[in-house]
Amino acid sequence: MIKEQPELDIVLHFLKSINIQVIEKELTEPTFLPGLLLGPDVIYIDYSRLLYAGDILHEAGHIAVTLPSCRKLIGTDKMNLDWPTQGDEIAAILWSFAALSHLGLSPEFVFHKNGYKGNSQWFIENFTNKNFIGLPLLQWFKMASRDEEISKYGSAPFPTMLHWLRPE
């Protein structure tokens, strides 16, 4: 049972520490990922339907890379219809890699064999070989350091994050 996985406690504690709210809720409507639904600044989880605990980190990535002024609109009819964009998607994927690295979890926790349209292994190989597809987006969002900032200010390179939540 997913609720008994030790990684789940690690993830939930982390999300709480970065101010991403998680609420347990019975989800009766179909959802993109089983057992998960995003709302205004919140992830709703139906543990009876959740298949992969790592999917929580990916969904958290969507909240994290969204502008603060738009986070409160997630899951409402006021949110842009094109959200998340393809850029948001790749940023959320890379954010989830940074999160699992920070938490000491294996890449397979998020990039499980049944995820990412069969491309999980491709993401694992690229990210573990430091080919961080989407990093310029996280840098542009001011969530990760740019190379010149690393050398000038001594900030740590990715997968260390400057900010877990995108600033305005």
One-letter amino acid for residue 128 of the chain = T
What is the spatial distance between Cα 16 and Cα 69, in angstroms, rounded to a whole number?
A: 20
Using alpha carbons, list the distances in angstroms from residue 53 to 17, 34, 107, 110, 166: 18, 10, 13, 8, 23
Please state, rounded to an integer, the average pLDDT across all residues of the chain: 93
Give pLDDT, residue 87: 94
Q: Phi, psi (5° rounding) for residue 147?
A: -55, -45
pLDDT band at 152 (very low <50, low <70, confident <90, very high): confident
- 153 or 144: which leads in pLDDT: 144
Asked if residues 143 and 163 have their Cβ atoms less than 8 Å apart, the reply is: yes
Q: Can you give the residue ranges of every domain in the chain?
A: 2-153
Tens digit of each residue's pLDDT (9 = 90 or more) over 77-133: 999 989 999 999 999 999 999 999 999 999 999 999 999 999 999 999 999 999 999
Give the SS3 label for residue 39. strand
Q: What is the pTM of this model?
A: 0.93
Round the CA-based radius of gyration of the chain to a whole number and report it: 15
Mean pLDDT of 4-17: 93
Tens digit of each residue's pLDDT (9 = 90 or more) over 72-92: 999 999 999 899 999 999 999
